[in-house]
Amino acid sequence: LGRPERAWRSAAMWRTSWLAREVIALPLFMALVAVYGALHWLGLLQAALVAGALAAAACLALYLCTGMIYACLKFLQEWHSPLTVLNFLLLGGASGLSAATALAGWFDRALEPGYRLAALIALALAALSRAATLVRNARLRPRSNLQTAIGVKHPQIAQKAQGAMGGSFNTREFFHGSTNARLTLVKWFFAGAAFAAPAALLALGLPSAALAVQFAGLLAERWSFFAEARHPQNLYYQAIS
C-alpha cells in the first residue's frame, strides 16, 4: 500500500495464488461491463450481447477465485470445502438476479417475469447450499487442542496468560467476541432476510423490496461466514481475551 507503483505485483503469482487470480478477474470483469454498457448505449446490440456474455463469464470466474481464496485454507475446516465456492457462486447469482428483476421492474417490465423466475430458482439453490454448509460445519470436530498445540499430553492444562498485558492483533482480528446465542440469532436472521423474505417478496411482485431485504440479509450472512471459522490460533488467544 505504501508503494502503489508496485501494485502490478499483486497479480504476479497468478499461477499458484487464487488471490492473484482474483486481482486479474476483477478489473477484467469491470472492463467488460463497461464495454457492454458502451456498446449498448451506442446501439450496437449484437456486439453488446457478445460483450455481455464475456462479462458474465468473467463474473463467474471472479466468484470462483474469491471462493477459492477461502476454500483453499486447509487449516480452517469450516471454509475448506467445495460448498464454500458453490455458496459464492449461488449467492452472487441469486443477488444479481434479484437486482436484475428490480431493474427490469423500473425500466423494462417485459423482462421482469423471466428474471423473477430465475431469481427464485437461484434463491432456492443458494438456500439449499448454505443450509448444507451449516449442517456440515455443525458436525465438524476440531483437529487440534491445547495438548497437541504445545506438545503436552497432560489432560488438564490451565492457561493463565497470553504473554501480553493487553489485547493484540490476534485477539481483535481472529475472534468475533460474540456469544453462541448471538451467532444463532444471526443465522436465523440471514436465513429469513437473505432467502425466505426475498423469495416471498419476489413472488408477490415486489422486487425492489426483495432486493433491499436481501441486501441486509447478505450482510448478516457474510458476518456469519467469517464468524463460523474457528481459527486454530484461538486455542491460545481466545481463552484469555
* pLDDT tens readout for residues 52-101: 999 999 999 999 999 999 999 998 899 999 999 999 999 999 999 999 99
The confidence score (pLDDT) of residue 219 equals 96
Residues of the domain holding 110: 74-141+164-241
Same domain flag for 78 and 68: no
- Asked which of 46, 72, 98 is the last residue of a domain, the reply is 72
- Asked which of 50, 72, 94 is the last residue of a domain, the reply is 72
Same domain flag for 23 and 93: no
Same domain flag for 122 and 174: yes
Same domain flag for 61 and 113: no
Same domain flag for 67 and 184: no
The cell for 213 is: 431485504
**Mean pLDDT of all residues belonging to the chain:** 89
Gap between the Cα atoms of 219 and 185, Å rounded: 14
Tell me, yes or no, whether 148 lies in a domain.
no
Across residues 103-125, what is the average pLDDT? 94
Q: Of the candidates 39, 194, 183, 77, which has an alpha carbon nearest to the alpha carbon of residue 126?
A: 194
Same domain flag for 22 and 133: no
The confidence score (pLDDT) of residue 233 equals 75
The confidence score (pLDDT) of residue 163 equals 65
pLDDT confidence tier of residue 241, bands split at 50, 70 and 90: very low
Whether 131 has a pLDDT exceeding 60, the answer reads: yes
Same domain flag for 30 and 94: no
Tell me, yes or no, whether 180 lies in a domain.
yes
Same domain flag for 103 and 182: yes
Same domain flag for 182 and 67: no
Residue 153: count of CB within 10 angstroms of its CB: 8
- Is the Cα torsion angle 238, 221, 196, 87 positive or negative in sign? negative
Across residues 35-62, what is the average pLDDT? 95
The confidence score (pLDDT) of residue 124 equals 97
